[in-house]
Amino acid sequence: MSVLRLSNVTKSFGATQVLRGIDLEVNEGEMICLIGASGSGKSTLLRTINLLEPIDEGEIWFDGQDISLPDVAPQPIRRKIGLVFQSFNLFPHMTAVENVLLAPSRVFKRSKKDLLPEVMQLFEQFNLKDRMQAYPDQLSGGQQQRVAIVRALAMRPRIMLFDEVTSALDPELVSEVLDTLLKLKAQNMTMILATHEMGFAREAADRVCVLDGGKIIETGTPDQIFNAPQTKRAQAFLASVL
Ligand code: ADP
Ligand code: MG
């Protein structure tokens, strides 16, 4: 079953066309990796799905609704689409658990006390239980990013979008965040990741999409994309990163 379907999504910034007719269907429980050179449109694509960028043309269907229509209120949609960025953006004056409780308590109008058991369970699942009371500056980058992921999960999203979530991390901290993504995949979370981690995309993705100049120039299984890319542009990109 498809959770998300983009058809002919087109987006310009001024005179620059940044997305040129993107078609993408994401099925329940699928992990899609978006790869491609810097500037190819990966972040913009994720931001349009989360309704942070209006699109010029095309449609975005999410959970059976065309969310690209101008009269759709963005907030209720965004709550169901978790987005985690490269920078963790935790509130520095709040503990990890306070950071995580903030949005769900406001949005679901539930007390923090009432939410605490399920939030604690998330901290436990992602091996952060002993860090719940820590402030962001007392956490490693990897722990901060994992708390940011837990914070998104506390909203019980239908789909998670990850934009270069390991790019700001010291190399030795990358694997703990990638492990978190694998755990989510094992729980059947539907995910789209923009990533430079080719090894991870190769191992973990159900499908890989290669972006180039605002287009998905190739899509396939990791085996197809990494071992037998069809287009010259995808071959050139992969040769530059592998
Ligand atoms: P990627 O994430 O693959 O590096 P981006 O989606 O960030 O690519 O950017 C795609 C293109 O859109 C780039 O040429 C970038 O300069 C341009 N772009 C992104 N955001 C904006 C913006 N807010 N205003 C103008 N141009 C933008
Ligand atoms: Mg980007």
Closest-CA residue, ligand 1 atom 25, reads: 13
Q: Is residue 29 assigned to a domain? A: no
Q: What is the mean pLDDT of each successive set of 10 residues along the chain, which is 242 residues long?
A: 95 97 97 98 98 97 95 95 93 98 96 96 96 97 96 97 96 94 97 97 98 98 97 96 90
Q: Which ligand is nearest to the CA of 47?
A: 1
Q: Which ligand is nearest to the CA of 38?
A: 1
Q: Is residue 67 assigned to a domain? A: no
pLDDT at 242: 85
Q: Is residue 144 assigned to a domain? A: yes
The span from the CA of 98 to the CA of 199, in Å, is: 34
ipTM of the shown complex? 0.98
Report the domain count for the chain: 1
Would you call 161 exposed, middle or buried from its count of C-beta atoms within 10 A (0-12, 13-18, 19+)?
buried
Q: Is residue 109 assigned to a domain? A: yes
Tell me the whole-structure pTM to 2 decimals.
0.96
**48 CB near ligand 1 (under 6 Å):** no
Q: Is residue 97 assigned to a domain? A: yes
Hey, which of 16, 18, 192 would you mutate to test ligand 1's pocket, going by the most ligand atoms within 8 Å of its Cβ?
Answer: 18
Q: Is residue 50 assigned to a domain? A: no
Q: Is residue 120 assigned to a domain? A: yes
Q: Is residue 202 assigned to a domain? A: no
pLDDT at 1: 78
Domain assignment of residue 151, given as a range: 81-156
Closest-CA residue, ligand 1 atom 19, reads: 44
Residue 82 backbone dihedrals phi, psi, to 5 degrees: -75, 135
Amino acid symbol at 72: V
